[in-house]
Amino acid sequence: MPGTDPAAERIRVRYEGSDYSAEPVAKGAAFEIFSVTPVDGFLPNPRPGARKLYRRFVPAAEIYVIEGRPPVPQEQPLSAPVSRGLSWSSVHQLSQSSHADDGGLLVARIRLSAKVSRGTRMVKVLSGRQLAGQLHGWLPQGFCYREYDTAHLRTPAELSVLRSDGDDGRADPAVFALRWRAVDSLDYQVPFAGDYAGLTRMPPADRLGSPVLGTGFTPSGQHVIPEFVTANLADLPLTAFAELVAYTEDGTEVVLYRYLPEQRAWGRMFGPQWRWLFAAVPGIAPEQEYFMIPPAPTKLMGRHRGQDYEAIADPPGEFRVLAKTRAARYAVETLYRRTPYVTWRRVPCTVVRDEGEWLRVRLIRPDAESVTQLGASCIERGIYETWAPRAETAGYRDVDTEYDLGPAVAPVS
């Protein structure tokens, strides 16, 4: 009927030979499918009064829509030249080991089919300690994923493969995640062995989390999940309305906080029934409404009428001057990320905190030798930091990464 919201239409899908009613998840990246009877792999449906008592989350690429018009996701799925000689299980095997022969070229070609563009929804799985860090000013950093590739993973057990804190085997009742939108593909790199060889060779005693394979895929005995790192492992400024979320054992997603850029604060979004989620979050009072975060050395900057201002990104289409009053939120003509770099003991680093006489520095290409040389500590998978006396560092400079603000590919509704 004219005027009907497509999102409200009945959707039925076919999955593994059976038909199910379904609802799109993460703008069509995955589907929540429902069953009246218990089926292997399905979870209890926690919705009060639900007629279909079981549900499962599946990737959009694994289902066939037989009725309805679900949203078309902005992102493209991972693609591989699957044939009789190259099954999907073979692709998984290739993703889990490094190859110096033609297999390496093939797995790299498959991996590069997963791309980030302006507006791509990115996620980073967090422990309780990391959630507390985000609320106190940590920024997106290190290993992360497209939501498109992970939206079907909804329980702590399923999401454990993406944890970076070294506790990937823990059976927590809830796990957390940071979700934001990409400003530009320039902010993300594929952690291939050629660029991040030091991480692939890091001794187990010097790392947290799962090993870095160098194929661009996360280690997993079941999934083929492309992984990214923030460029040079540096911080990225938060985009407008980024979210901190929790996932419970029954697959429920709870939005905990939303980032309010003009206030430089995380605003609480959850009700009192979810306070139990914070039992494993150190130093956070769940009744606190706002968490103000301090300015960081890495900033998003924009130019308006010849003047440089701190800016806000609201991808894919809005980039404006950071201002509390609406009348001063001018659109910027150019946009760039400003990141401070420094060299200490001949090791290049980014600056993540500036305390005057002391700088908190992060290695941009960690390896066992440089980690030992600087006495750096691994704070999460791939991230190595230490304090450096400012007087002993050299070459402190701001490096600007300018973005192309030309037309973006708009998400399809």
Domain limits of the chain? 6-67, 94-292, 338-403
Predicted confidence at residue 288, as pLDDT, reads 96
pLDDT of residue 105: 85
Return the pLDDT at 101.
52
Which regions of the chain are under pLDDT 50? 1-7, 100, 409-413
Return the pLDDT at 97.
Answer: 83
Q: How far is the first Cα of the chain from the last one, in angstroms, to the nearest whole number?
A: 17
Helical ranges in 96-206 per DSSP H:
102-111, 128-135, 147-150, 156-159, 197-200
pLDDT given for residue 102 in this prediction:
52
Are the beta carbons of 269 and 255 closer than 8 angstroms? yes
pTM of the model: 0.93
Q: Find out whether 176 and 127 touch, Cβ atoms under 8 Å.
A: yes
Q: What is the DSSP string of 83-118?
A: BTTB-HHHHHHHHTS--SSHHHHHHHHHHTTS---T
Mapped onto helix, strand or coil, the DSSP state of residue 31 is: strand
Per-residue confidence (pLDDT) for residue 1, from 0 to 100: 40
- The count of other CB atoms within 10 Å of the CB of residue 395 is 9
> Judging by DSSP bridges, how do beta strands 174-181 and 64-67 pair with one another?
unpaired
pLDDT of res. 182: 98
Report pLDDT for 156: 95
pLDDT value at position 9?
Answer: 73
pLDDT value for 168:
61
Query: Taking Cα atoms as reference points, which of 255, 74, 109 lies closest to residue 182?
Result: 74
